[in-house]
Amino acid sequence: MKLLIRNLDRSTTEDELKSLFQAFGAVQSCDLVMDRDSGTSKGFGFVEMPKAGEAKAAIKNLNDKMIGNNKIRVKKAEEPGSAPDAG
C-alpha cells in the first residue's frame, strides 16, 4: 500500500521518515519529494508498505502526530488515474 505523508518538517530526512514507518512493519520504499532548484524537501513524501494491515496501523498511529515542529498527515495515496474514494 502506498501512503502519502504531508506537512513534513522541511528538515525531515528519508531515513527519519522510513524509521517512523518501520515501527509498524516492513517498508518497501520511502521517497521524499525534493525541490529541484533548492534541493530541499517540499514537505511531503511517499512510503510504500507491502502489507496492507501494517500500512493501516501506520496510518492510524501516525496521522496527526507531531513530528519535529509539524503535525503530519498520513493517508493512502491515490493511484494515478483512479477516482477518489467516496467518503
pTM: 0.87
The continuous run of DSSP H or E covering 68 comes out as: none
Q: Of the ranges 23-27, 56-60, 79-83, which one carries the lowest mean pLDDT score? A: 79-83
Q: Show the domains of the chain with their CATH numbers.
A: 2-76 (3.30.70.330)
Distance of alpha carbon 59 from alpha carbon 83, whole angstroms:
21
Tens digits of residue pLDDT in 30-60: 999 999 999 999 999 999 999 999 999 999 9
